[in-house]
Amino acid sequence: MSTLRHERLGTSVLAALIQRAPKDVSTLSDEHRGALDARLRALAGKSTRRLDAWSVEHAGLSNGSFAWRPTTARRAIGNAALRRHVLAPSLTLRDCVNLEIDDLLMKSVTGYARGGSLAEWLAKSSPAVVALATSEAWSWANSVFELASSSGVPWEMAPTDAYYDVAQARTSLRGRRDFLATTGNRRVVVRVRAGSPGKSAGPGLRSDLVIDALSNSSGVVASRFIGAWPDAGVFLYVDGSFGDVRMGARDLVRTALAQERQQRELAA
């Protein structure tokens, strides 16, 4: 049974969701990992695939070729600025965003930027586009910081998103996560999204829960995984129960199967 729940966003709601997270902690065993890996290997085709919450929510459909824009760059820049701010609280969020932009531009100037990277895109953009990207990143960083600060417990920015590669399956999993909050032995993961949640937001959230656990070397499942949509004023959350983990794993396998069918239809 799923523990998916819905809450209206408020200054005290996030604190309550974190502090009331289940105390029991689930752990994925090697047997659990092996079972999921085997299912995905059985669906391996000739092309590589990446599964994430977006693909789960859209039944395996491709989101097309990725392109950097101010709105797609804001999370990468904003979260990096927040990590800098946590290490140097004397710097304002705006200062941290500006420093991240400067570092990315310097990386391109010195030849360390990879082709198609955020740094290369910024270096080739007009001053107006860079200014817009800076504004979007500051808005994102400020929104995430306000959410994290309202948690009422110690928190830290996630160092990266969660990644898990399935050997011999040409499949990689990516789970979004923005900041982590802890209380006692409970680890709560918070993911922030723009816009408003769709009807399939629950399966997407469960897939992020599973991928976060798979990326943990010890297989520890988050006590609670919270999705926040500040624009819509909504929280969705799932607890780290084995029921939700199983449902999330099934959604990932179904998405891989849908993608494989689509590839076969295109090749026919």
Q: What total of structural domains would you count in the chain?
A: 2
Q: Report pLDDT digits (tens) over 98-132.
A: 999 999 999 988 888 788 899 999 999 999 999 99
Domain coverage including residue 226: 5-62+152-267
The total number of residues written for the chain in this structure: 268
Q: What SS3 state is found at 170?
A: coil
Q: Are residues 139 and 198 in the same domain?
A: no
DSSP bridge pairs for 51:
173
Q: Report pLDDT digits (tens) over 38-70.
A: 999 988 777 788 899 999 999 877 666 789 999
Q: Are residues 263 and 173 in the same domain?
A: yes
Boundary (domain end) residue, out of 118, 149, 180: 149
Q: What is this structure's pTM?
A: 0.92
Q: Are residues 36 and 130 in the same domain?
A: no
Question: For residue 239, which of 196, 211, 206 has the smallest C-alpha distance?
Answer: 206
Q: Are residues 57 and 95 in the same domain?
A: no
Boundary (domain end) residue, out of 122, 149, 176: 149
Question: For residue 225, which of 250, 248, 199 has the smallest C-alpha distance?
Answer: 248
Give the DSSP letter of residue 63. -
What lies within 8 Å, CB to CB, of 192 at 6+ separation is 75, 140, 143, 144, 147, 178, 227, 228, 229, 230
